[in-house]
Structure 1
């Protein structure tokens, strides 16, 4: 090894004397010739590894760097050179010594462990013992960060070791897999409840990336040893979390499928690694791996059976003679459905005639029963069709049976990729009865269990909330088991009834492929039976429950949502044959359910769209709209008869705002759904505007105005009515109306002006009145709103720009920039500079009046972008505007805009006025203490020279 020179030794003495020189020295220096000298001076001593420094903020610490590690990382690649063999042991001792010292002294430094994980990958593997590899476990236990170490070990070192393929390297791989995929269990608090979860020790995204790089490769290189690591950890999780029998809920598919998206808990990640390593094992050692897969089916874990079925499907040529062991009734259960379906779909053509016959017998023996235990023909046919869909293209008989059962079910079965009802999420409230315990119960026993359950008074113990959520999961996962037996649940606690309705509503909105025509019949009958019960309307059932489970209000709202979802879209609506039954349900609910309380400071729209009565009214509106659309199709766009049918209900609802105990849901919703009522009956709506916007009934008027301001389209006739009756100005002046509502009023006025409903020159135009009011908040909203329209102009930008240029000088006439409020409005007007495509005599003056105030309301960013745009064709005009802006604002962002202006100036006259102007601008920034524009200009000049 080369000796250090006199100057190099002198440099070492200087860094010994001056600690502040060390970080720079260790960043610059490299080469093993420095190692011994640094070692002798104690720079590698374990106690030099700095401890975390606690901060004033509890739970946080500052983690210092160990500067010498920069040198060690840079020099580590030299260890592979034969002449440097003597240093390998020293490096290993350094890593082990520092780690053990930290362990003994009970501290950790993730920055050190990260650099160590870089260094260890350069040490020849044959020099490292398996015992020494154990230090990685401590690195991965760091309190503050483990991700950096995991990335280095998993994404970089492990792939290198796997490619080496020598025995010792592969033993290290097995050891590292055991350390890297070590599973820990944590407890998470959710709504005061403790939830237990399995986790890896580093970020899930990093775990996915590691899986991609090494899972399959490890199966190829070390076969059973790799698979066994994942097998043991998966079993550990399944036992600890007791979640094996319903793994289809938390791992919908064993294959890498889109339905597994966002499922990245430890169990999902371990399954992914298990699957891929098993694939690698089967690829390289098929005979040995075959025996392993056969053994997997003897294990007592359904999840491992699913992995085996997946492997059999992938490598069917290996398992052709073994497939009979999978063709069993138990493997048609929902937990195996995805894997078994794909096994059939992908490989049925290769089955022997005997195997095919066995499959058909299994499918044709499927039965679904109704309330009385009788076979339900439609549900049975639907279930059979689901399995026959996997094989329908592999034989005439299979296709005939499939079509026959689809015809009976009157529905095409969901493809298992996926039945939308398979994605049912997780339960954050622990159930007192495990989900797998409930799943296996018959309908009779399940009802008995739910009926007799008495939960603890203690909220923190598993109780009725957890049980109801688990019950919903089961209903949603196996809807065909329940739909024709729903009436048997109608007398249960309201909490369970709510979950049933919500489960089927979610299935509907997710467009699960189910025999919906039949389901809707049973579901509507169920809802009607529930609300006809006297106990449902008992006053005790409207009280909020202490465990936050459903009361009557929840169910009324949920039925409203169900009916709304069933009628909202013609592309996804229940049969018109159910319209009358739906109307019966709504009218019964409206007859009995009272309205919410409203006050002058209430958010009327929020109350109306969320209250039980409001949800029913929304359902009624959607049912009426659906009926009108159907009538239009059949009666040459005439739905007058439908409106006549429903009008009396709406008349009665409008009257409810004027009774002794007024209810305001409808008067809010009728304006909120203004476009829909204009469609259903413009005559009725326009004839009732006076009653709806009733200024003589203040609270009623407040509710109507709030509802109206949520409408996104301005209708000229309605606008004219509200303008003529001074509703808009009254709203702007009303102290009880929130600013959000007032903002929408201003936006109505702006849209009416832009759409030529009125002209600025009209003395009574509201846009003119608005500007002459000279109120800063109104100006700010008007300017901002018109600015936002530039992106939605749809070919009408020229017209919008003309409107802007008409208003801009009128606003400047009425503001006083000597006052702070005037400066703020001028600043807001800088938003309108985006409408300036070309500077002329007219708009130059408008620009120069406002740009000095850009920073007052933080609009410099937008202004500089506009100036940059102008500089594309008029760099000197852009310079003039920029100089005026710099009188009041010198922010150096956005960088791209400033670079663009400077570039265009220099390009205009690289050796003359353009360059001089650019230099002068950056000199102003320098005077203000900002050197960034100066640096950017130097880069620009250099780049242009190199063109």
Structure 2
């Protein structure tokens, strides 16, 4: 064979001949040279490496090519794979080298191990920063005979270094450790343990944004935890002592990174409050905590299996407290076996007083005493008690004599909590004496600080206690209660208010009959009473609306109420508004019609007196809901709608379905211009409802609802945001407010739903014929011209959600015309509009391919969208489009499919069956140009991604094609 590759040959044709050569017992020199030439091309390298990694090939064939490739430097890592590549500013891609698959496959054979180790060392020395490479190397090491792994274990340290993260290779290391432990490769295990538990120092911001040194694992911390969890059992069975000592050295290293040489404290009682598993320990581990857990678990096993008295003594006398604590913990778990250690290094004359005053070991010592004090000898018990009676070695100088005495006694009581009730009378007597002096209850004496979760507030009285008193007594206690202190378990006004709410919820009738008694209690209690009534109503229970509304009526008519502090009063005003809304919005669940005048008078009074407003241009509708004025206006509309549904209309004008008093509220608020802004948001939001109540009023006031944006920007934004918050589209309202949409186009609106809802309203106006894409006056045309890629994407997405457009040629034509016009604006700036073009794949289904000719404008529109489909993950949608059209429009589909693959970086992977069907259909047409394109498509799958799923289909039709040519 003189030539392996002809100029016009396709990928799989060449691949067939590569297969023939690879499988030959003795390929000639020329054939070997040709394969070497091909393997230096990325598209063929992937294929050849994968073939050599095929389990179906015998070792003989693999060895032959491996030796050749090794000799010719094929396994020298390509320069473009060494480091991550920046694909855009701040974002990197880690290249994949196809040779790795081949190396992993061949690492299973012992005869290649020596060469594999050389490759691994050579590439590691090249300072490669690529997790694909190092994950593969770890997989290779697991394939070696156990005794050979020792040669590459030192390299693991390099594999865990990166400018980025080491998550991938870190998780792989666990399998290597498991392999070595199972095969009792002691030296390799200990070397690997030393590496994976090693630490490095980094600086990070601590309190007050000051940079402090911090010990970090050289592995991904989550992977380290998993490695420990998965291998702990094997570590306990094999080399627990050696592993424990190695991990201890790395723990010391971690502590020294963070602690100054002059400071002997490691502050472990802060970062690991308890050696045992305990709720006070952090749920998110750092490297120090993980190493402590590993040492602890190994020590427990060692203590049971053998005699580690000397090692425990070392720990109990260690410089750093975390090791002393580990020693105490181990002794606590095995006290009977290590009595000599307890007597000499824990409960001894020289040690006990020092330990009682060592804040660092407090928890472990307290736990030892609370478990074992009862079983100690009387003289040891007395020794401990004597140490406690001596009191603490340190008392703050700034305390008074009385405070110092109290502090000393509290310290004694804390330790006595652990040894009382242990059949040692002197301890019990001392506890009784000391606790009588302190008069404090100590809940967690073994911790210097204790964290616990607590939700809610504490009340001085329960709901049931409140229900046991009459109204006068309840109001007296509400008025007289004074909160003492700020502790999170301290009875508070908030807690009492919640208890009152619960009492009203339990027995609303008790309060309905005497509501006026509560008129003068603080506002936060009135709020909770009204809130409880509303919640009861919304939960389907009955309430006495007559009593509740009359109470609210009397309250808002009382001038004293309006003189209360605004911050307290506004909650009550908002809740009254919400009550009225709740009692009027649903006819089946509304209060009696006869009570509507009371509700009206309440609303009128609140409109006159309440001025508190809130405005946030990023979310005007939420502002309304957080504003007493806004909630009052919403309640007024809900009330008016309820009245209108009962048949109300004015005698002088039946088209006016609201009372003059309610109309006047809105007219007055709008006339203020620079007054509370809530009215604009509410009018925009409820414009359809206002239009139903009084079409004439809306028409007359449309310029007031939407004031001139150039003069009253905030008011205009509030009104337009309110209007856009509606999902429904109203033709007559769009006509009325069309100029507001023109004002909005191109304006940087900040409220979060602005882009989405503006796009939706304008798309519907266009589809319903209120706008076109041709006239100069068209708001939609203006929008399409000024919209950015995100806006157009929102338009396209919205169109795909509209079911009614699918079966109407008129709508389909409009959608295509929208696409055509936008495309004409952007096609000359292709480089900056690729992502936008990709969005349009979703609209391809609206094109009538019957009318499309190759290379006309619509075909170009389709082509650009398919060319960049991958940029917005539209590849599967493109395949679906091909599937729907390949039967009738094979040539167009084939060209577009070919274009799609030309520009895709990743293969379509979720549509394999559909792709096969499309390709089979294209072949079935027996159109030479289509067949040629289909050949190209299948070969691109192989050339770009080494995907052979459709290779058999290609070979079958290629064979048929050849047969027809011969015939």
- TM-score normalized with structure 1 length: 0.52
Alpha-carbon offset, residue 494 of structure 1: 0.7
Q: Does structure 1 retain, via aligned residues, the 8 Å contact 2:193–2:243?
A: no
C-alpha contact (below 8 Å) 2:612/2:627 kept by paired residues: yes
Measured after TM superposition, the shift of residue 865 of structure 1 is: 1.4
Within 2, Cα distance between the matches of 1:98 and 1:478? 69
> Does residue 630 of the first structure (1) align with residue 646 of the second (2)?
yes
Partner residue in 1 for 2:184: 38
State the match for 2:559 in structure 1. Answer: 534
488 and 796 in structure 1: CA distance in 2 versus 1, 3 angstrom threshold? farther
CA distance in structure 2 between the aligned counterparts of 1:532 and 1:673, rounded to whole angstroms: 28
What CA deviation, in whole Å up to 9, does each residue of 1:615-641 have, x standing for no partner? 111101101111111228xx9x99976
- Equivalent position to 2:910, from 867, 873, 896: 896
1:727 Cα shift?
Answer: 3.5
CA contact (8 A) 2:684 2:719 kept: yes
1:781 aligns with 2:785: no
Distance in 2, Cα, partners of 1:12 & 1:764:
80
Q: Does 1:64 align with 2:224?
A: yes
Matches within 5 A, 1:470-485: 470-485=499-514
Alignment of 1:730 with 2:743, yes or no, is: yes
Residue 866 in structure 1 maps to residue 878 in structure 2: yes
The reply to whether residue 498 of structure 1 matches residue 523 of structure 2 is no
1: distance between equivalents of 2:798 and 2:741? 22
State the partner residue of 2:844.
833
RMSD over aligned CA atoms reads 5.4
Q: Structure 1: how far apart are the matches of 2:466 and 2:908?
A: 59
Whether the aligned pair in 2 keeps the contact of 1:783 and 1:828 (CA below 8 Å) is: yes
- Cα-to-partner distance string for 1:97-149 (whole Å, 9 max, x where unaligned): 899989999989xxxxxxxxxxxxxxxxxxxxxxxxxx997999895589x9x
- Residue 260 of structure 1 is matched in structure 2 by none
**1:14 maps to what in 2?**
148
TM alignment of 1:647-658, pairs within 5 A: 647-658=660-671
Provide the residue aligned with 1:317 in structure 2: none
Q: Is the 8 A contact 2:555 2:561 kept in 1?
A: yes
Is the aligned partner of 1:792 residue 2:792?
no
1:674-706 deviation digits (Å, cap 9, x = unpaired): 211222222332343344344396355454333
Cα gap change, 1:638/1:936 in structure 2, threshold over 3 Å: closer, same or farther? farther
Distance 1:553 1:27, change over 3 A: closer
Q: 2:573 aligns with which of 523, 545, 556?
A: 556
The residue aligned with 1:669 is 682
Change (3 A) 1:768 1:733: closer
Task: Decide whether aligned partners of structure 1 residues 640 and 569 sit closer, same or farther in structure 2, where only a CA change above 3 A counts.
Answer: farther
Number of aligned residues: 593
**d(CA) in 2 for partners of 1:865 and 1:938?**
23
1:539-618, aligned counterparts within 5 Å?
541-543=565-567, 551-594=568-611, 596=613, 604-618=620-634
Shift of 1:454: 1.7
1:489 to 511, 518, 525: 518
Contact kept, 8 Å, 2:197 with 2:247, in 1: the verdict is: no
Structure 1 residues 748 and 776 mapped into 2: Cα distance closer, same or farther (>3 Å)? Answer: closer
Is 1:686 the equivalent of 2:699? yes
Report the alpha carbon displacement of residue 924 of structure 1 after superposing the two structures with TM.
4.8
Find the aligned partners of 1:768 and 1:36 in 2 and give their Cα distance: 72
Note if contact 2:458-2:495 (Cα within 8 Å) is conserved in structure 1.
yes
| Conservation of the 8 A alpha-carbon contact between 2:677 and 2:718 | yes
Aligned counterparts of 1:439 and 1:940: Cα–Cα separation in 2? 82
Listed one character per residue, the Cα deviations across residues 414-462 of structure 1 (whole Å, up to 9, x for unaligned) are xxxxxxxxxxxx9834325364785675245443332212224758674
Deviations 1:59-88 (A, max 9, x none): 985243898998998xx9xxxxxxxxxxxx
1:431 is the counterpart of 2:577: no
8 Å contact from structure 1 (residues 830, 859) kept in 2: no
- The aligned residue for residue 268 of structure 2 is none
**1:175-574 correspondence to structure 2 within 5 Å:** 428-431=455-458, 433=460, 435=462, 438=465, 442-443=469-470, 444-456=472-484, 458=486, 462=490, 463-509=492-538, 511-512=539-540, 514-516=541-543, 518=544, 520-538=545-563, 541-543=565-567, 551-574=568-591
Aligned residue in 2 for 1:810 = 821
For 1:40 and 1:856, locate their aligned partners in 2 and report how far apart those are by CA, in whole Å: 55
- Work out the CA distance in 2 between the residues paired with 1:816 and 1:92: 68
Q: 1:814 to 1:566 in 2, by over 3 A?
A: same
Q: Find the partner of 1:621 among 630, 633, 637.
A: 637
Q: How far off is 1:757 after superposition?
A: 3.0
Match of 2:6 in 1: none
**Is the 8 Å Cα contact of residues 747 and 782 (structure 1) preserved in structure 2?**
no
**Structure 1 residues 698-777: aligned runs within 5 Å:** 698-699=712-713, 700-723=715-738, 726-732=739-745, 741=754, 744-760=757-773, 764-771=777-784, 774-777=785-788
- Is the Cα contact below 8 Å between 2:869 and 2:900 reproduced in 1? no
1:828 to 1:865, Cα distance in 2 relative to 1, 3 A: closer
Q: Please report how far the alpha carbon of residue 792 of structure 1 lies from its aligned counterpart in structure 2 after TM superposition.
A: 2.8
In structure 2, C-alpha distance between the alignment counterparts of 1:769 and 1:895, rounded to whole Å: 40
Q: Is the 8 A contact 1:46 1:97 kept in 2?
A: no
Q: 1:457 to 1:718 in 2, by over 3 A?
A: same
Q: Are the aligned partners of 1:864 and 1:897 in contact in 2 as well (CA < 8 Å)?
A: yes
Q: Secondary structure at the match of 1:805?
A: helix
Matches of 1:822 and 1:93, distance apart in 2: 62
Residues 817 and 923 (structure 1), Cα distance of their counterparts in 2 relative to 1, 3 Å cut: farther
**Is the alpha carbon distance of 1:934 and 1:654 closer, same or farther for their aligned partners in structure 2, counting shifts above 3 Å?**
same
Q: Is the contact between residue 671 and residue 704 of structure 1 (CA under 8 Å) also seen in structure 2?
A: yes
User: Greater CA deviation, 870-879 or 649-658?
Assistant: 870-879
1:896 Cα deviation from its structure 2 partner: 0.8
1:695 is aligned to 708
- Judged with a 3 Å threshold, the aligned counterparts in structure 2 of structure 1 residues 667 and 910 are, in CA distance, closer, same or farther, namely closer
Q: Cα–Cα, structure 1 residues 574 and 642, in superposed 2: closer, same or farther, change >3 Å?
A: farther
Give unmatched runs, 5+ long, in structure 2: 1-109, 114-143, 157-170, 205-213, 253-274, 291-332, 334-452, 958-967
What SS does the aligned partner of 2:725 have?
coil
TM-score, normalised relative to structure 2: 0.51
Q: Is the 8 A contact 2:570 2:628 kept in 1?
A: yes
| In structure 1, C-alpha distance between the alignment counterparts of 2:702 and 2:581, rounded to whole Å | 26
Is 1:783–1:831's contact at 8 Å kept on the other side of the alignment?
no
Question: 1:848 maps to what in 2?
Answer: 860
Pick closer, same or farther for the CA change 1:883–1:910 going to 2, 3 Å.
same
The higher-RCO structure (CA 8 Å, 6+ apart) is: 2
* Partner Cα distance (1:653, 1:718) in 2: 19
Change (3 A) 1:733 1:921: closer
Gaps of at least 5 residues in structure 1 are: 1-5, 77-90, 109-134, 149-178, 180-425, 544-550
| 1:449-479 C-alpha deviation (Å, 9 max, x unpaired) | 3221222475867433343334434433554
Counterparts of 2:192 and 2:657, CA distance in 1: 89
CA distance in 1, matches of 2:657, 2:246: 83
Is the Cα contact below 8 Å between 1:750 and 1:786 reproduced in 2? no
Instruction: Check the 8 A contact 1:570/1:626 in 2, yes or no.
Output: yes
Q: Is the 8 A contact 1:672 1:711 kept in 2?
A: yes
Structure showing greater Rg: 2
Cα deviation for residue 556 of structure 1 reads 1.0
101 and 451 in structure 1: CA distance in 2 versus 1, 3 angstrom threshold: farther
Equivalent position of 1:343 in the other structure: none
Match of 2:5 in 1: none
Distance (Å, rounded) in 1 between the aligned partners of 2:149 and 2:516 = 85
